[in-house]
């Protein structure tokens, strides 16, 4: 090994994160595609809208806080979702600079229809051989990681 200053143990943990993510996400995306369901990115956005409250409507800005994408990528993604009829774009009433994004009925259905495949994928490609305790440990430990870097996106 060519280095020091970062221990072997830390490095092994890091590699396991990269691998586990690549393998599990890849497999789940494939399942979704083969089942004709929406991809994970779409799911995340629609889910953020559904859980946002009664009207399932969020400002672009707020969506941005939930989704790990650059501003431009999110802007294009919302366009795509709107074209697919899963969300509806509306200029914000209170501030015409803003954009309101609302989940449509079709969007609700897409979310509901994708969940069985998605959850089966999580089970099969991630949770299958983990005990409940191990899941708790992972959640606790990786939770700390997310706090380390406040997910600062571009200007």
Partner DNA sequence: AAAGATTGAGAGGTCAATCTTA
Partner DNA sequence: TAAGATTGACCTCTCAATCTTT
Our finding on whether 27 is near DNA (CB under 7 A) is no
Our finding on whether 109 is near a copy of itself (CB under 8 A) is no
39 — alpha (psi -120 to 50), left (phi > 0) or beta? Answer: beta
Both tokens assigned to 85: 């009829």
Cα distances from 25 to residues 15, 22, 47, 104, 109, in angstroms, run 15, 6, 17, 26, 23
- 90 interacts with, out of a copy of itself, DNA, none, CB within 5 to 8 A per kind: none
Q: How many residues bind a copy of itself (CB under 8 A)?
A: 55
Residue closer to a copy of itself (CB basis): 36 or 150? 150
Site for DNA in 48-107 (CB under 7 A): 59-61, 64, 69-73, 75-80, 89, 92, 95-99
Contacts of 89-95 spanning 24+ positions with Cβ under 8 A:
92/59
Residues that bind DNA (CB under 7 A): 30, 39, 41, 59-61, 64, 69-73, 75-80, 89, 92, 95-99, 154
């Amino acid at each position: 090994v060519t280095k020091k200053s970062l221990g072997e143990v830390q490095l092994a943990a890091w590699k396991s994160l990269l691998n586990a993510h690549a393998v599990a996400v890849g497999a789940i995306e494939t399942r979704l595609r083969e089942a004709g369901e929406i991809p994970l990115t779409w799911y995340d956005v629609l889910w953020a809208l559904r859980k946002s409250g009664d009207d399932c409507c969020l400002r672009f800005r707020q969506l941005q806080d939930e989704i790990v994408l650059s501003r431009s990528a999110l802007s294009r993604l919302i366009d795509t979702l709107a074209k697919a009829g899963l969300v509806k774009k509306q200029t914000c009433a209170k501030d015409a600079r803003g954009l309101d994004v609302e989940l449509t009925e079709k969007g609700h259905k897409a979310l509901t229809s994708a969940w069985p495949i998605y959850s089966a994928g999580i089970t099969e490609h991630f949770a299958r051989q983990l005990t409940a305790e191990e899941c708790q440990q992972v959640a606790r430990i990786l939770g700390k990681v997310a706090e380390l870097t406040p997910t600062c996106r571009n200007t």
